[in-house]
Amino acid sequence: MKRRRAFLFAALIVVGAVYFANASWLAPAPEGEARLMAHRGIHQLYQRVGIDKDTCTANRMLPPTNPYLENTLPSIAASFRAGADILEIDIHPTSDNAFVVFHDWTIDCRTEGRGVTREQSLEYLKSLDVGYGYTADGGKTFPFRGKGKGMMPSLAEVLKAFPEQRFLINFKSRWIEEADLLRAYLERHGIMIDDRIMVYGHDKPVGRWKTINPKGFAFSKAEMKTCTLDYMKVGWTTTLPESCAGSVIGVPINYRHLLWGWPNRFLERMRQSDTTVIFLGNIENQNGAPGITEPDDLDAVPSGFNGLIWTDAIEQVGPAWAKKAGKR
């Protein structure tokens, strides 16, 4: 009996120590201002259940609530007007040494063309209708067909059209040489590689980009996932895992309370380790990380949060965040 009591007493001491070491209310309140990162800009939302990296999302489109197509100049402009601080765009190199802004590995899904995107010339890609394949009723109607003709922009067009805005450029391949191609392309077009140019994607091109642009903001999807999982495992010890130092951590809204010290203690640790915090949407075994789409979800963002809020619906989240921030 005495041994059992001693064990319970020791356990209570350990639990108490872990609690106080990670108690949010004992940490200073965060101070800062969040930035909205618009994933794909204003675009057509789609059913995410059951998708993988090769799924055609244009034919899974939900009934449209806006007139915009992702990765196009009108969508980008509208996204910044809606409150985006940073816009995520997708790129592919072309067969004639350019870069095009387009999401899919092939052009089969969204356009009337066929083939691998990077195997086409810029001239051909710009001739396609990027709204051709969108349907919300299984192919009965195609509400954007004919409206996206010639609207696939080059990367230089986008960056020159919005010279003061910030972009997160997504490498869509695992090709390490793509980082060098991108740098040469930007230099050839007279586009300065400064803090408005950020990149992410697979470890190989991102790792190479970090080598040739060590001062820029860049991260791979794998390192964000690794940091997040490692912190969930060992954060209770108050020791930050090496995978998080100077890196990026993702905070899915439905798992935020599993992150030790959330919110104040957690955010203070990330600040001290120069770790960028990205607040994400509800993750339920889906391919990719969904962004915030419902304005009500912004209530989960703590006051003083100074990280990035990833959103898939900037047209709704942007105005709601501006209103919410104005009340603070």
Q: What is the mean pLDDT of residues 308-312?
A: 97
- Cα separation, 2 vs 153, whole angstroms: 75
- Cα separation, 6 vs 14, whole angstroms: 12
Give residue 9's pLDDT. Answer: 54
Which is more confident, 47 or 209?
A: 209
Give residue 283's pLDDT. Answer: 82
pTM of the model: 0.93
- Cα separation, 226 vs 244, whole angstroms: 8
Characterize 200-209 residue by residue with b for buried, 16 or more Cβ atoms within 10 angstroms of its Cβ, and e for exposed.
Answer: bbbebbbebb
Rounded CA Rg of the chain:
22
Mean per-residue pLDDT of the chain = 92
Give residue 48's pLDDT. Answer: 82
Give residue 23's pLDDT. Answer: 84
Instruction: Judge whether 135 and 142 are in contact, CB under 8 Å.
Output: yes
Which is more confident, 74 or 288?
A: 74
Q: What is the mean pLDDT of residues 277-289?
A: 78
Count the Cβ atoms, other than its own, within 10 Å of residue 100: 24
